[in-house]
């Protein structure tokens, strides 16, 4: 009796090929010769290859479910990213992923290179997690990330276009705490200490990651706005609308950007606060602590040039000397 699968050539190697729900599936094999490929295929099939998820969409659902089950901090961001990726990748056979397909995705995605790179790496990681091989991924080159920030005049113009009370509070929190968007949306009232003037951005039970959430001090303007919001609050989350927490603030920013004519994203507030602090002469070491950086190397890389005395010592040391 013939096997319910075949071993075929693929990209200079071999692949296990079978039919599942009327669709042709392929899985790259590691063996370099046909006898080894036949043995590997038998082993994989006996382990239940035909019962495993086949498309990238099926794999991604299992992968993200595992992240959420293990309470991985990256799970919410990856879930959001998948929404933008789903239409292109959902029905794709992972064995067909190659450089041309990745470039095609980048062309239709029309997003920043860093975003596309993150999403393509996410596909690769999920496929490897599902033990479906290692896709031949093309990735956009890594480029220096520009610090997109607002001048004081741009911020005021944008802020005038922010209408909803929850969005205005979010903007002030983003500027004055320099917290990342998700940290602000997840902030709860029990982590705001009005007596000491402190905001703990890290919820209980969340382990600190590379994207550390520090305890920061609130300034007078932010404190006054938080007091008013606390008097009217209905739920535990600081950013709420109609008695419900806000899952995503992007629509409010898009609307305010259209009203004001100043394009702003939630993350730009973090950069804006950091640039303003650097322009005021705050040390990179202090700014690093406030932003949750493990050391000031990242802070120096992005914000040191905005300091009023940036490299002046070097410039002043270069002097003409008469004979």
2, exposed or middle or buried, with CB in 10 Å at 0-12, 13-18, 19+? exposed
Q: What is the pTM (predicted TM-score) of this model?
A: 0.65
Residue listed under structure tokens 């096997």: 3
In 21-164, alpha helices (H): 34-46, 56-69, 75-89, 99-109, 113-129, 152-160
| pLDDT digits (tens), the chain, 323 positions | 466 788 888 877 888 888 766 777 777 777 888 988 888 888 767 655 554 557 898 888 888 888 887 888 788 889 989 999 999 999 888 888 989 999 999 999 888 888 899 999 999 999 988 877 788 889 988 766 677 899 999 999 999 999 999 999 999 999 999 999 999 999 999 999 999 999 999 998 888 777 889 999 999 999 999 999 999 999 999 999 999 999 899 999 999 999 999 999 999 999 999 999 999 999 999 999 999 998 889 899 899 999 988 888 888 888 888 87
What SS3 state is found at 260? helix
Query: CA–CA separation, 30 vs 18, rounded Å?
Result: 17
Torsion of CA 220, 226, 228, 229, to 10 degrees: 160
Alpha carbons within 13 angstroms on the beta-carbon side of residue 248 total: 9
Query: CA–CA separation, 236 vs 209, rounded Å?
Result: 24
Residue listed under structure tokens 């507030």: 269
């Amino acid at each position: 009796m013939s096997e319910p699968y075949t071993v075929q050539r693929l990209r200079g190697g071999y692949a296990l090929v079978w039919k599942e729900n009327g669709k042709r599936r392929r899985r790259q094999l590691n063996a370099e010769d046909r006898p080894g490929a036949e043995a590997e295929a038998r082993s994989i099939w006996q382990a239940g290859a035909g019962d495993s998820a086949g498309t990238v969409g099926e794999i991604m659902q299992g992968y993200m479910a595992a992240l959420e089950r293990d309470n991985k901090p990256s799970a919410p961001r990856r879930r959001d990213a998948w929404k933008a990726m789903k239409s292109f990748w959902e029905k794709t056979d992972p064995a067909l992923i190659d450089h041309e397909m990745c470039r095609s995705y980048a062309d239709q995605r029309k997003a920043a290179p860093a975003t596309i790179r993150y999403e393509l790496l996410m596909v690769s990681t999920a496929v490897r997690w599902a033990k479906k091989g290692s896709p031949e991924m093309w990735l956009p080159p890594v480029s220096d990330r520009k610090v997109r920030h607002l001048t004081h005049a741009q911020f005021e113009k944008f802020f005038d276009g922010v209408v909803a009370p929850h969005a205005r509070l979010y903007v002030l929190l983003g500027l004055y705490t320099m917290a990342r968007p998700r940290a602000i949306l997840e902030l709860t009232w029990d982590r705001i200490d009005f007596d000491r003037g402190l905001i703990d951005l890290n919820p209980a039970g969340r382990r600190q990651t590379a994207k550390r959430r520090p305890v920061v001090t609130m300034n007078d303007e932010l404190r006054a706005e938080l007091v008013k919001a606390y008097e009217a609050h209905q739920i535990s989350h600081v950013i709420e609308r109609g008695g419900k927490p806000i899952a995503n603030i992007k629509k409010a920013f898009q609307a305010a950007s259209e009203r004001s004519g100043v394009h702003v994203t939630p993350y730009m507030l973090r950069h804006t606060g950091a640039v303003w602090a650097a322009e005021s002469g705050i040390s990179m070491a202090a700014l690093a602590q406030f932003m949750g950086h493990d050391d000031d190397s990242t802070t120096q890389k992005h914000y040191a040039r905005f300091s009023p005395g940036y490299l002046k010592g070097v410039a002043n040391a270069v002097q003409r000397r008469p004979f």
